[in-house]
């Protein structure tokens, strides 16, 4: 979330950010299967099963957002790797779970 907060603050301060779509992404793609396995392995007690199915017609095989506008308009470059950000997010939810 740190990168998203930094980018959001930068967008709020950049006059040229108004009325344009700006993608925020990492610099590497990750498969949905790998992402699901990572989350399952890092969520204590998860019994979720990762199920791989055949691709459907029209499914996008590889995708990564273009950071061109984020670099140009916001001078934004991601600093937190996906795995680190997910661990921090999981830890945050875990620490706030007892307050529900």
CA distance 28 to 63: 9
- 42-79 tens-digit pLDDT: 998 888 888 888 989 998 887 888 899 999 999 999 99
CB of 24 within 8 A of CB of 7?
yes
Q: Collect all residues with Cβ–Cβ distance below 8 Å to 64 and sequence separation of at least 6.
A: 25, 26, 27, 28, 29
pLDDT at 84 over 90: yes
pLDDT at 99 over 80: no
* Residue-averaged pLDDT of the chain: 88
CA distance 20 to 50: 36
What percent of the chain has a predicted confidence (pLDDT) above 70?
96
Which alpha helices (H) appear in the chain, and where do they start and end? 2-13, 32-42, 68-74, 82-97
The answer, as to whether pTM is greater than 0.75, is no
């Amino acid at each position: 979330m740190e990168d998203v907060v930094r980018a959001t603050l930068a967008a709020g301060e950049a006059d040229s950010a108004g009325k344009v779509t700006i993608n925020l992404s990492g610099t590497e793609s990750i498969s949905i299967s790998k992402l699901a396995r990572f989350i399952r392995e890092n969520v204590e007690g998860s019994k979720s099963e990762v199920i791989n199915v055949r691709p459907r017609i029209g499914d996008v095989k590889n995708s990564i957002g273009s950071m061109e506008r984020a670099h140009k308009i916001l001078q934004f470059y991601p600093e937190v790797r996906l795995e680190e950000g997910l661990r921090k997010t999981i830890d945050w939810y875990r620490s706030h779970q007892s307050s529900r």
